[in-house]
Amino acid sequence: FGGLRAFDPEIADVLLSELGRIRSGLQLIASENLSSPEVLTALGSTLSNKYAEGYPGRRYYGGCSEVDKAEQLAIDRCKALFDADHANVQAHSGASANQAVYGAFLKPGEKILAMSLPHGGHLTHGTKVSFSGKWFDAVHYGVHPETEDVDYDEMERLAKEHRPKVICAGGSAIPRLIDFERIRAIADEVGAIFWVDAAHFIGLVAGKAIPSPVPFADVVTFTTHKVLRGPRSGALVCKAEHAAALDKAIFPMMQGGPQMHTIAAKAVNFKECASPEYADYTRRVITNSQALAAGLAERGIRPTTGGTDTHLALLDLQGVGVTGKDAEARADAAGIVLNKNAIPNDPQKPGIASGVRVGTPCVTTQGMGEAEMATIAELIHVAVTQGDADPEHAVSQQVRAGVDELVTAFPAYPR
Ligand code: PLP
């Protein structure tokens, strides 16, 4: 690091001040985590230099003997971790892995049925601003108005009416377990491919803390940097019969050269995820998010669906009369990082929103448990209901003192 500091002090300062930012606050963004120094070492390695278009043993470049070993390890470990027929570890991100599904199974203009964005889906599930909605015909299901959980009856009705080529399950703000068996049956009834975008919860599957979609789905795409705690990237696993189509869709259809340093970091991460410590971590991520949601519910901040089975809770702030945008700004001013989020049937515009999303992957990595979640619920409640977007405000300062105590006792990247 000394060399970088001497050559480019401006960027060195950014790296250090970002570490300082992580250490000084409570990171409650549900899609973030703190990957290990071992993963970061692989990411910052000379494997970044290597062009390796193709797949192990079948490259379009010379000199791939060493990166081949890294990619084969990543593939083998990924298949073993998820008990999958086939794995492709080259996607640059979750969105790239999703693109490959469209590339493999759909022609432009063909139909996909997926969760709507305002009800918890993802941009790449057919929204108009994304390639997926511009080039494909997307039909969306949502959550049931009473349960606020995925409306499987609506999904079935729409599947029968529209007969999509692909049915997608998963999203970015779904606090409950998804009924993969039911969706498999719906997909079979209409002859559709069943795709699970497991970006958010795949880490919980890796730790065997929740049921796996792999036995049911044709293809499961995911990011590797959320609960999974690997490098910022993507991957997919699929049934053997789809392996060739999905490999071709990743390369050469959607991507060029794979990022071999990131693939090595994925291999490291998959090895970490196979350990009993990681399995224990994933169980604690869930008990923590349940404790946090319960603590907030007691204080009048209602978790949609009444709670959570996963690493995240979606909180409806209408009961305390604060918008998601204000809540995010007030929490931020006190050192609590969370994000505003639309809730189902939100009366506010997406940029304002009536909810916030909180997740426990980071704070659990730091070793916090249920007692700390009760404290965090209280801190969030005070910041959101009495606080201010000004960090100098007395309430921001008071909450910040509570945050300081927690992050001192449970440091991120301990020295
Ligand atoms: N799919 C889901 C469900 C996600 O939540 C995300 C990211 O948050 C993605 C896909 C896209 O992942 P990336 O940001 O790596 O492209």
State pLDDT tens for residues 63-73. 999 999 999 99
Is residue 241 marked as binding? Answer: yes
Residue 205 token pair: 């599957």
Phi, psi (5° rounding) for residue 313?
Answer: -130, 140
Cα of 132 from ligand 1 centre, angstroms: 13
Mean pLDDT over 366-385 rounds to 98
Per-residue pLDDT averaged across 119-136, rounded?
97
Taking residues 347-352, report their average pLDDT.
95
Q: Which two tokens stand for residue 79?
A: 């298949």
Write down the pLDDT at residue 29. Answer: 98
For residue 180, pLDDT over 90 is answered with yes
32 CA distance to ligand 1 centroid (A)?
11
Q: Which two tokens stand for residue 101?
A: 């599904």
Cα 266 off chain centre by: 15
What average pLDDT does the structure give for the chain? 98
Which pLDDT band holds residue 298 (cuts at 50, 70, 90)? very high
Does the annotation mark 413 as catalytic? no
Q: Which of 50, 226, 266, 340 is catalytic?
A: 226
Q: Is the pLDDT of residue 286 over 90?
A: yes
Atom of ligand 1 nearest to the CA of 94: 12
pLDDT higher than threshold 90 for residue 1: no
CA distance 260 to 46: 9
Q: How large is the C-alpha radius of gyration of the chain?
A: 21
User: Does the annotation list 122 as a binding residue?
Assistant: yes
pLDDT greater than 90 at residue 2? no
What pLDDT was estimated at residue 278?
98
Residue nearest to atom 5 of ligand 1 (CA): 172
Bridge partners of residue 219, in order along the sequence: 195, 238
Helix (H) or strand (E) holding 202: helix 202-206
Active site residue 21: no
- Residue 86 labeled ligand binder: no
Cα separation, 120 vs 102, whole angstroms: 20
Q: Which of 124, 127, 221, 223 is catalytic?
A: 223
Residue nearest to atom 14 of ligand 1 (CA): 94
Q: Which of 23, 51, 283, 287 is catalytic?
A: 51
The span from the CA of 96 to the CA of 101, in Å, is 9
**The pLDDT value given to residue 383:** 98
Has 302 been annotated as catalytic? Answer: no
pLDDT > 70 in the chain, percent: 100
Per-residue H/E/C for 315-338? EECHHHCCCHHHHHHHHHHCCEEC
**Ligand 1 surroundings by CB, under 6 angstroms:** 31, 93-95, 98, 122, 124, 170-172, 197, 199-200, 223, 234
Query: What is residue 227's predicted lDDT score, i.e. its pLDDT?
Result: 98
pLDDT at 35 over 90: yes
- Rounded to two decimals, the pTM is 0.98
Query: Could you give the CA distance from residue 380 to residue 301 in angstroms, rounded to a whole number?
Result: 10
Structural element, H or E, at residue 313: strand 312-316
Q: pLDDT tens digit string along 212-261?
A: 999 999 999 999 999 999 999 999 999 999 999 999 999 999 999 999 99
For residue 215, the model assigns a pLDDT of 98
Q: What is the pLDDT of residue 326?
A: 98
Cβ proximity of 26 and 403 under 8 Å: yes
Helix, strand, coil % over all residues of the chain, rounded to 5: 50, 15, 35
Minimum-distance ligand 1 atom for the alpha carbon of 95: 16
Tell me how far apart the terminal alpha carbons of the chain are, to the nearest angstrom. 15
d(CA 219, CA 318): 38
Percent residues over pLDDT 90 in the chain: 99
ipTM: 0.99
* Residue 121 is labelled as binding a ligand: yes
Q: Is 304 a catalytic residue?
A: no
- For ligand 1, the distance from its centroid to the CA atom of residue 122, given in whole angstroms, is 7
Helix ranges (H only) for 83-164 are 94-105, 131-135, 152-162
Task: Give catalytic status of residue 53 as yes or no.
Answer: yes
Closest CA to 410 of 36, 25, 38: 25
| Distance from the alpha carbon of residue 94 to the mean position of ligand 1, in angstroms | 5
CA distance readout (Å), 159 to 117, 166, 184, 334: 18, 9, 12, 46
Q: Residue 154 in 3-state DSSP? A: helix
Residues contacting residue 77 through CB under 8 Å, at least 6 positions apart: 267, 270, 271, 274
β strands within 77-192, DSSP E? 86-88, 111-115, 137-141, 166-169
Neighbours of 352 (CB within 10 A): 14
Mean pLDDT of 93-114: 98
> What is the mean predicted confidence (pLDDT) over 283-312?
98
Q: Is pLDDT of 315 > 90?
A: yes
Atom 1 of ligand 1, nearest CA residue: 199
Minimal CA–CA distance to 357: which of 398, 319, 402, 301? 301
